[in-house]
């Protein structure tokens, strides 16, 4: 049986690797139930199927940069390959996630994001998607329908291609401020274009500031000077795989991610969780999580705080509110799995929304995802026989039980 990227979940369905889009259409047409796989950067059974799994990374990558400023890209293509081709054509995306190794289709479908007060999740760049529907026929989702269906968790079809907005290529520099007081993180997260705060919830944090050039870069953040040295690490357990620091300017796609495309991302042997709260509650959230640091510290590698601009995507974790994302890279142990609900309990009073593709035990998603019921009704209407449904989607309230 096949597993997700980190080996935290074993898929139960057989995997089919389609040769082309016509093969995808045939499998969907003939299947009782089918779901799509990308680069498998999930930490739960969200992508699993009671029928067949289609591995979209088996399809040939295609990147078409268009004269209207958009790019068409196959869903299984990794962001790293897309970014390189865009840069060769003098174009760029508005943001990137921390891992360039993730597939475009999978990242969009799950609401995955980068960081930045004014930067939306990766799906906010979507202008259209091509989907294989339950009858095996291709359809295009565009215009107002994108808000409802871009972040769809694969619940209404197999996305084969996406059209994304692009902009002229730009340069970014990355500076690190080491030892910032955790209490100062809410203010520090606005210090640049894309900012991350890494902490062990022990009172101190390293703040990574990615600045789109030309722009001024602060000499200090919260009283801490920038480190002139590029240190190839996040922690002692995450070493030898990060993008250049020390203020060295470089292409957008080589600075916005945390990790290099030619390396193993993150720790690799891990569980990830992430919860989104209103950015206005950042100070209270930081204080609350700091308060349980001693209870959870032995079970995780590092915590990270990022920000995401509000959007109108129905199932986006940043829907309707500028958001603070509380990310944790946990050790792959039973102790870590027991610690995740402890963090959830602390964040629950803030209406925390879990990342769809990461580990969590939140049961009442309808209470924190405002348009979940509307999305479920639409998905049920578009796929009345539940070809793209699954027990995981039903459990999360994304599809109705049949």
- What are the residue boundaries of the structural domains of the chain, listed by start? 171-354
- Strand, helix or coil for residue 103: strand
- Chain position carrying tokens 């509380």: 326
What's the pLDDT at 355?
98
Residue 111 has pLDDT above 70, yes or no: yes
Residue 23 in this model has a pLDDT that exceeds 70: yes
pLDDT at 208: 98
| H/E element, 15 | strand 15-16
* Residue 283: burial class (beta carbons within 10 Å; 0-12, 13-18, 19+): middle
Q: What is the mean pLDDT of the chain?
A: 96
* Nearest to 233, CA basis, from 263, 202, 212: 263
Checking if the pLDDT of 8 tops 90, the result is no
Does a cis peptide bond (omega within 30 degrees of 0) precede residue 223? Answer: no
pTM metric for this prediction: 0.96
With 80 as the cut, is the pLDDT of residue 1 above it? Answer: no
Residue 361 pLDDT exceeds 90: yes
Class of 171-354 per CATH?
A: alpha beta
Q: Are 132 and 160 in contact (CB under 8 A)?
A: yes
DSSP H or E stretch at residue 285: helix 282-291
Beta strands in 32-111 (DSSP E): 34-37, 52-55, 63-65, 70-74, 91-92
142-163: buried (b, 16+ CB within 10 Å) or exposed (e) per residue?
A: eeeebbbbbbbbbbbbbbbbbb
- The pLDDT of residue 265: 74
What pLDDT does 267 receive? 63
Contacting residues for 166 by C-beta, under 8 A, at least 6 apart: 65, 69, 70, 71, 86, 91, 92, 93, 125
The Cα–Cα gap between 402 and 382 comes to 15
Query: pLDDT at residue 135 above 90?
Result: yes
Mean pLDDT, rounded, for 347-353 = 98
* pLDDT, tens digit, 9 for 90 and up, residues 63-91: 999 999 999 999 999 999 999 999 999 99
The interaxial angle of helices 334-347 and 282-291, nearest 10 deg, is: 140
To which residue do tokens 């299984």 refer?
Answer: 76
* pLDDT score for 310: 98
Measured distance CA(402)–CA(400) in Å, rounded: 6
Residue 264 pLDDT more than 80? no
Q: Where are the beta strands (DSSP E) in 75-226?
A: 91-92, 126-132, 138-142, 158-165, 167-168, 171-181, 194-199, 204-212, 220-221, 224-225
- What tens digit of pLDDT does each residue of 282-309 get? 999 999 999 999 999 999 999 999 999 9
Between 5 and 203, the higher pLDDT residue = 203
Report the phi/psi class of residue 288: left, alpha or beta, with left for phi > 0 and alpha for psi in -120 to 50.
alpha
- Residue 5: the pLDDT is 85
Specify burial of residue 307 (Cβ count, 10 A radius: 0-12, 13-18, 19+): buried
**pLDDT on residue 297:** 97
At 21, list the tokens: 């889009």
pLDDT at 296: 98
pLDDT score of 137? 98
Does the pLDDT of residue 382 top 70, yes or no? Answer: yes
- pLDDT at residue 20 above 80? yes
pLDDT of the residue at 269: 80
Q: Which H helix or E strand runs over 377? A: helix 372-382
Q: What's the rounded mean pLDDT across residues 368-390?
A: 98
Band of pLDDT at residue 333, cut at 50, 70 and 90: very high
Q: Report how far apart the first and last C-alpha atoms of the chain are (Å, whole number).
A: 27
């Amino acid at each position: 049986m096949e597993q997700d990227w980190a080996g935290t979940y074993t898929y139960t369905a057989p995997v089919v690797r389609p040769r082309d889009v016509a093969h995808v259409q045939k499998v969907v047409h003939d299947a009782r139930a089918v779901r799509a796989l990308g680069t498998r950067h999930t930490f739960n059974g969200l992508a699993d199927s009671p029928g067949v799994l289609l591995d979209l990374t088996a399809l040939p990558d295609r990147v078409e940069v268009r004269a209207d400023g958009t790019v068409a890209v196959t869903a299984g293509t990794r962001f790293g390959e897309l970014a390189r081709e865009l840069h060769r054509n003098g174009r760029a995306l508005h943001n990137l996630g921390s891992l360039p190794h993730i597939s475009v289709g999978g990242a969009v479908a799950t609401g995955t994001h980068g960081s930045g007060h004014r930067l939306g999740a990766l799906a906010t760049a979507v202008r259209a998607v091509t989907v294989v529907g339950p009858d095996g026929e291709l359809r295009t989702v565009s215009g107002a329908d994108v808000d409802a269906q871009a972040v769809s968790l694969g619940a209404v079809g197999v996305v084969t291609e996406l059209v994304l907005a692009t902009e002229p290529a730009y340069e970014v520099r990355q500076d690190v401020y080491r030892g910032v007081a955790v209490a100062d993180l809410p203010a520090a997260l606005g210090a640049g274009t894309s900012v991350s705060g890494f902490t062990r919830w022990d009172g101190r944090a390293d703040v990574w500031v990615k600045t789109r050039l030309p722009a001024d870069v602060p000499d200090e953040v919260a009283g801490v000077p920038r480190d002139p040295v590029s240190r190839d690490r996040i922690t002692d357990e995450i070493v030898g795989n990060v993008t250049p620091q020390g203020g060295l300017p470089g292409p957008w796609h080589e600075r916005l991610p945390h990790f290099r495309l030619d390396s193993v991302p993150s720790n690799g042997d891990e569980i990830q969780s992430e919860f989104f709260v209103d950015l206005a509650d950042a100070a209270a959230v930081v204080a609350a999580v700091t308060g349980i640091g001693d209870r959870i510290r032995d079970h995780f590698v590092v915590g990270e705080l990022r920000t995401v601009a509000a959007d109108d995507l129905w199932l986006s974790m940043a829907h309707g509110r500028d958001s603070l994302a509380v990310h944790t890279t946990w050790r792959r142990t039973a102790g870590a799995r027991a610690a995740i609900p402890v963090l959830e309990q602390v964040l629950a009073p803030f209406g925390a929304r879990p990342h769809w593709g990461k580990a969590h035990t939140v049961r009442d998603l309808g209470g924190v995802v405002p348009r979940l019921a509307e999305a479920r009704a639409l998905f049920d209407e578009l796929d009345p026989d539940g070809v793209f449904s699954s027990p995981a989607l039903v459990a999360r309230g994304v599809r109705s039980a049949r």
